[in-house]
Amino acid sequence: MEESDSTTGFTSETAEGKPADIRNVGIVAHVDAGKTTLTERILYAAKVIRYMGDVQDGTTVTDWMPQERERGISIHAAAVNFQWKHWRINLVDTPGHIDFTAEVERTLCVMDGIVEVFCAIKGVQAQSETVWSSAERYKLPALAYVNKMDREGADADRVVKQIAERLRTTALPIQFPVGSGPDFKGTVDLLTGRQHGDMSGVDEETLDLEVQLAREHLVECLAEVDDKVLVDYLANRIPDAETLRGALRRAVIRRRIVPVLFGSSLHNQGVTDLLDAVGSYLPNPLDRAKTAEARRTTGLLVFRIVDNPEYGKLAYARIFGGRIRAGQVLVNARNHVRKRIEGILKIQAAEVEPTTDVMVGEIVALQGNWSRTAVGDFLVCQELATSDEEAAAFFGVPKPRFPQPVFSINMEAKERERDTDMARAVKKMASEIPTLAVKPLEGSVGWRFSGMGELQLEIVRDRLKTDYGIETIVGEPSVEYRDTIRGEAKGSFLFEKRFPNGVAISASVEVQVQKLQNGEGLDLDFAPLDNILEKQFADAVRQGVMNVVNAESSGYPLTDMKVTVLSASSDAGDAGEPALLSAAVGAMTDALDKAGRCTLEPVMKLEINTPGDTLGGIIADLNARHGSVTQVDSLALGVLRIVALVPLAELFGYASSLRSMSAGRGDVVAELASYQEVASRRR
């Protein structure tokens, strides 16, 4: 093993090939599918913990925050690492609630694969599809784990069919589940024929026939995607387990197949089989590296920044190339600021453990001065520090993309003397949570908090009380509206000013605005500025454009549009910065007036589970809220699944209304579907 070259940042294969034994895996799912319980059983199986905790009792390792233990949900992504057989597994348990989708997004950007957990009763749910779409953007190979097979109403075949149809993938069971509900016995491995569980009372002859048919289906599917299996299949030979295992691994890494496993995490059934599948089929960091040069070149991606009471501010990072040592200096590819790695800490949920160096593929917390570092920044050797985009392209890693806040509430300290303390706490929390936007209220005390939903802001308020001792007063909730444009236009503005001494200055800017598809966000192209203006003047134009985009003067913040600065010039000398800023604001205003501006509102996708006898009343209520029902499905035990699109402004207090309409038997999950133009009847 060679030492890293301090001048080039290159290194040979690290730690004698150990990265090949690493698995970086995110556990994702819809809320209440059983991710945290599964993680707890995994830690128990790996002998990391001696006793298994319980979500409802608030005793699990990964749900360590008081707010998580009180509510029985995950709020933060929690990383744990352990040894399983010869694999070193870095596992991240992510939240399932849509309000905390930022935690999922920044987790996936540093993973090499995922395990998506599905409820055997409810199947593919709203957040199941959302996290799957995010994993697709990062091109992550996946395993599917159907949990709660021991529950009344469990239906393995229905869930596998839903995974294939709704997630548009090839879902291939690699186990045969024996029984379901209270009669769930265990599984049979379709590659080896081994039985896992208590099969007493099972008709062996019938089971053997069903397993044979399921294995034949597995072989046929693998023959379609792997030449080695195809040769055996065409020759009428039965492939051995090792041949099938190799083919399955290749197919998973190429994202051609999603293996499906079955179990009951609560009763510790299927957990060790899932761990074996993680090691056998999901890729290692070397499999995922874009090139050999990329895995040898020093670089890491920061995906979280937090304050630790013992170690100070920490940057959580994934090592994408080379080897990182304490004392090493890297460069932020976004702003070219040099950063020294003061210390390296291995992560175990809320706990950390110091170490001296880490290799490619590891996920760690880094000590240092992170004042000018943000989530999504690449820290790299000097050669790669040209731009953020080039670093991302070199390592083949998309930067995390976070949704815009849709829900707001005003909040102020109950005691006026705590205003300064609240300002400090607010600044710290906003730096840690990418989907939380906070700004002071104009003309009054207090702050406007914008986030993904009521639960997220309720957690923020609770943390202000528990973490900082600040009691708060809150106002009525409101919707975060956006503006967009109807077409394409160019706009220009000439700023001129003549001073009493006869001296005249001027600055001009021309921009183009173009409409993008719903949900595409903003695309800002300032490239021409770098060739025609000095940096401080180019920054002034950028600031002027952003003042309009962020609605500093009028309207709502803009979205779903592309802005290109076509030209900019100034003869204002030292006064060029304010002159160019004013010209940029004028040019943007001119372009928006020509393109036509309209207001958008967040429309939510609701997934409602309710008994069948409440269907009529619930649909009538959704219609009264200007919603549209898009789907009604039957689940187990007489429960219906209703999918509807409803404007967020119509949904305040909806969970309470649903409980009343369903006599406490219904539940609902909402996620942002799109921004749509505000209907005239609702303005």
Helix (H, G, I), strand (E, B) or coil at 655: helix
How confident is residue 53, by pLDDT bands cut at 50, 70 and 90?
low
pLDDT tens-digit profile of 116-145? 999 999 999 888 888 898 899 899 999 999
pLDDT at residue 500, rounded to an integer: 81
* Mean pLDDT to the nearest integer, 141-154: 95
* Mean pLDDT to the nearest integer, 541-563: 89
CATH of span 599-682 = 3.30.70.240
pLDDT at residue 600, rounded to an integer: 92
pLDDT at residue 96, rounded to an integer: 58
CATH of span 407-478 = 3.30.70.870
- Cβ atoms within 10 Å, residue 504: 10
Pairwise pLDDT comparison (398 vs 343), residue with the higher score: 343
* Mean pLDDT to the nearest integer, 330-344: 92
User: Residues 290-313, buried b or exposed e (16+ Cβ, 10 A)?
Assistant: eeeebbbbbbbbbbbbeeeeebeb
Cα separation, 457 vs 424, in Å, equals: 17
Cα separation, 288 vs 161, in Å, equals: 29
| Longest Cα–Cα distance in the chain | 104
Cα separation, 577 vs 539, in Å, equals: 8
* Mean pLDDT to the nearest integer, 274-295: 91
Q: Provide the token pair at 105.
A: 């997004």
| Length reported for the chain | 683
How confident is residue 158, by pLDDT bands cut at 50, 70 and 90?
very high
Beta strand residue intervals within 94-242, DSSP E: 113-119, 142-147, 171-173, 175-178, 186-189, 195-197
For the full predicted model, state whether its pTM sits above 0.75: yes
pLDDT at residue 59, rounded to an integer: 52
pLDDT at residue 70, rounded to an integer: 54
Share of the chain above pLDDT 90, in %: 47
In this predicted structure, the answer to whether residue 510 has a pLDDT above a threshold of 90 is: yes
pLDDT at residue 223, rounded to an integer: 95
In this predicted structure, the answer to whether residue 60 has a pLDDT above a threshold of 70 is: no
Which has the closest alpha carbon to 532: 581, 490, 578, 570? 570
In this predicted structure, the answer to whether residue 15 has a pLDDT above a threshold of 50 is: no
Cα separation, 26 vs 233, in Å, equals: 34
DSSP result, 349-367: TTEEEEESEEETT-EEEEE
In this predicted structure, the answer to whether residue 72 has a pLDDT above a threshold of 70 is: no
Question: Tokens 């005390």 label which residue?
Answer: 445
* Mean pLDDT to the nearest integer, 624-633: 92
Cα separation, 658 vs 665, in Å, equals: 9
Please tell me the class of the 292-395 domain. mainly beta
How many CA atoms lie less than 13 Å away from 650 in the CB half-sphere?
21
Cα separation, 145 vs 261, in Å, equals: 5
pLDDT at residue 681, rounded to an integer: 42
Mean pLDDT of the chain, nearest integer: 86
Contact 317, 366 (CB under 8 A): yes
pLDDT at residue 180, rounded to an integer: 93
Fold of 487-595: Ribosomal Protein S5; domain 2 (3.30.230)
The yes-or-no answer to whether 292-395 and 487-595 have a common fold is no
How confident is residue 504, by pLDDT bands cut at 50, 70 and 90?
confident
pLDDT at residue 250, rounded to an integer: 96
pLDDT at residue 411, rounded to an integer: 92
Cα separation, 94 vs 79, in Å, equals: 9
pLDDT at residue 488, rounded to an integer: 96
pLDDT tens-digit profile of 380-390? 988 777 788 88
pLDDT at residue 656, rounded to an integer: 86
Which has the closest alpha carbon to 518: 600, 581, 638, 588? 600
Number of H helices, E strands in the chain: 19, 34
Range with top average pLDDT, 43-57, 99-113, 609-623: 609-623
* Mean pLDDT to the nearest integer, 540-549: 92
In this predicted structure, the answer to whether residue 186 has a pLDDT above a threshold of 60 is: yes
Contact 447, 505 (CB under 8 A): no
Range with top average pLDDT, 272-281, 373-382, 468-477, 633-642: 272-281
User: Domain spanning 15-198+256-288: which superfamily?
Assistant: P-loop containing nucleotide triphosphate hydrolases (3.40.50.300)
In this predicted structure, the answer to whether residue 10 has a pLDDT above a threshold of 50 is: no
- Cβ atoms within 10 Å, residue 415: 12
pLDDT at residue 428, rounded to an integer: 84
Q: Give the domain ranges of the chain.
A: 15-198+256-288, 292-395, 407-478, 487-595, 599-682
pLDDT at residue 565, rounded to an integer: 92
pLDDT at residue 586, rounded to an integer: 95
Helix (H, G, I), strand (E, B) or coil at 573: helix
Pairwise pLDDT comparison (669 vs 184), residue with the higher score: 184
How confident is residue 212, by pLDDT bands cut at 50, 70 and 90?
very high
Share of the chain above pLDDT 70, in %: 91
Cβ-in-10-Å burial (0-12, 13-18, 19+) of 427 comes to exposed
